[in-house]
Amino acid sequence: MQLLYETYLKFLLFFVFLFVKQLSWAETGTNPLTNISYVNSLGYPFKYPYLSSNGLPVETSFKFPSPLPSMPSDGGNFGKRSIDMGGLEVTQISISNSTSHRVWRTYEGGPDNMGVSIFEPTTIPRNFFKLGFYAQPNNRQLFGWILVAKDVSGSNLRPPVDYTEVGNTTTLLIKQEGPAYFWQPLCPNGYHAVGLYVTTSPMKPSLGQNSISCVRSDLTEQSEADTWVWRIKDMTISSLRPATRGVEATGVFTGTFSCKQLNFLPHPPPLFCLKNTKFDLSSMPSENQTRVLFKTYSPWIYLHPKEDFLPSSVNWVFANGALLHKKGNESIPVPIHPNGSNLPQGGCNDDLFWLDYLVDKKAREKVKRGDLESTKVYLHIKPMFGATFTDIVVWLFFPYNGNAHLKFLFIKSLSLGNIGEHVGDWEHVTLRISNFNGELWRVYFSEHSGGTLVDACDLEFMQGGNKPVVYSSLHGHAMFSKPGVVLQGGGKSGIRNDMARSDKCFDAGIGYEVIAGPGVVEPPWLNYFRKWGPRVHYRIDIFLNSVAKILPIFLRKGLRKLINKIPLEMRGQDGPTGPKVKVTWTGDEQYS
């Protein structure tokens, strides 16, 4: 009897617990993008956040805070809406309710479990043909584009000979607007498919006027999955990007997507992207146009309020006590000319030369602290995706990188001694701008040895303008799109990246210098390929031993494991190199 009573009481308590938890879900179930809150009676708070389209971010089109500037015209093809790619003339259709028709939508799966929407471009210029449909997660405002093409020769575009189904959502028990069927064009010999067709009926799309086109194979290139757009159960939708990317690569980001459904078609035929066979750089912005673009989109950079190590111009560092050291002659370092003209040029990142600051404590400390007044950013103008886009890479120089801090279980911030400290720290953010219309598409934030691409619709803009806000992390100076704390290393412990607004901030558009790009004369310091600081070896063991004394034994192993996950650059095994030595100099930002 007693036992039964206890069991009963436990059950009662459990349900009271569930009820209370339910209330708190109602409190936390607010979508910060829309402020729409929801309560879920099934007990899975984030399973069905949206029971209808109301309030889904994708229902609103993204708009830049300010109108885009008009471009000074100078005879080039930048901003002319269409690009001659040799055999095909191509134009970019911005997806909106006036250019496109939504074919299908689901309210589940994908980022934030808000589902995906699929659009067919419908308002396209005369004689242009669509090459595929566009897919976007519903957790973002509608913002994207797709390319459509015009056949210049009469034999470069062909209708498909048939369609093959690559997936459907009939068996997925998800909240959706009827099932969707995904069709891949089967192309005539010598032609390739670039995108998919989507229907809401099981009938194959017709091969007539409204079909999507196949592209002659020599005007296409291999593509690969870019970002994940939607995934649920056995089905994945990914946007596609050229497999080979970089300043010399001809592959064009086309804006289409692929659909993979496990066990549907074991080997669906591949999808391709367009190729710019002409690639004459005439679509790149001129010097004057670049100036207008940078004035419009120059990032607004916030340093952390506790930041000790500010950026500076490189010339300020050279003028304030940077020395060139040479292997074998370590005791007699040479002062660097303020314009960097006596830095060794070319070669490779061997250890023959390196920079360091004056030994005198006071002078050294001064250089390390940087100088916001003199700070300049350095721009590298890169063609991307066969010169259909321009990357404006914004490089910042910090004379010194401060030490790292760890969050470890309940310890909020554990200083890692001198681990992470080094002379000479190059960081960058990249603006990726459409050469069709001058619109900012994405911004890349470099974060240690990786980084994040953020679409313009997810950026924070400085009040009233189109300047994205960038947060530089405390001491490490990694670039982030949001304030807050990001832990590197995964889970609840890791290296801290602390970002916050402060009065240590500046508009990168105020002081800048274009250092590289078509027709630009490069400053001598850019072609210095050795290290901007001495190679350092942090004594991780000494640090661990000193910390171990204050940690309970059962935590020491965890700390050691975490430290071993710290990226190599933080462990000092490779010194800081200049912009031109990084793989991204000629490659894409995301090279893996």
Ligand X SMILES: *[C@@H]1O[C@H](CO)[C@@H](O)[C@H](O)[C@H]1NC(C)=O
What residue ranges bind ligand X (CB under 6 A)? Answer: 35, 60-61, 74, 97, 165, 168, 170-171, 202, 264, 286, 288, 326, 328-329, 332, 334, 337, 339, 341
DSSP 329: -
Rounded (10°) CA dihedral 548, 553, 554, 560: 30
Q: For 389, phi and psi rounded to 5 degrees?
A: -130, 155
Work out how close the CB of 35 gets to ligand X at its nearest, in angstroms, rounded to a whole number: 4
* 163 vs 400 by CB, closer to ligand X: 163
- CB of 244 closer than 8 Å to CB of 230: no
Residue nearest to ligand X (CB): 202
Contact between residue 83 and residue 77 where contact means Cβ atoms under 8 Å apart: yes
> For the purposes of burial, counting CB atoms within 10 Å of the CB of 280, is it exposed (0-12), middle (13-18) or buried (19 or more)?
exposed
Radius of gyration, alpha carbons of the chain: 27
Shortest spacing between CB 283 and ligand X, in angstroms: 16
Q: Min. distance of Cβ 199 from ligand X in angstroms?
A: 10
Q: Closer CB to ligand X, residue 37 or residue 349?
A: 37
Nearer to ligand X, 97 or 127 (CB): 97
Q: Are 532 and 547 in contact (CB under 8 A)?
A: no
Minimum CB separation from ligand X for residue 519, in Å? 11
What would you measure as the largest C-alpha separation in the chain, in angstroms? 93
| Phi and psi based region of residue 105 (left: phi greater than 0; alpha: psi -120 to 50; beta: remaining) | beta
Given the complex with ligand X, which of 97 and 546 has the nearer CB atom?
97
The answer to whether 219 and 276 are in contact (CB under 8 A) is no
Pair 468, 299: CB distance under 8 Å: yes
* Closest CB 295 distance from ligand X, rounded Å: 12
Q: Measured from the CB of residue 59, what is the shortest distance to ligand X in angstroms?
A: 7
Beta strand 450-455 with 162-168: parallel, antiparallel or unpaired? unpaired
The position carrying tokens 């210095």 is 528
Residue among 325 and 368 whose Cβ is closer to ligand X: 325
Nearer to ligand X, 328 or 491 (CB): 328
How far apart are CB 521 and ligand X at their closest, in Å? 9
The residue among 24 and 329 lying less far from ligand X, judged by its C-beta, is 329
Q: Which is nearer to ligand X, 365 or 522 (CB)?
A: 522
**SS3 for 479-538, per residue?**
EECCCEEEEECCCCCEEEEEECCCCCEEECCCCEEEEECCCCCCCHHHHECCECCCCCCC
Query: What is the DSSP code (8-state) at residue 213?
Result: P
Find the shortest distance in angstroms from Cβ 95 to ligand X.
Answer: 11
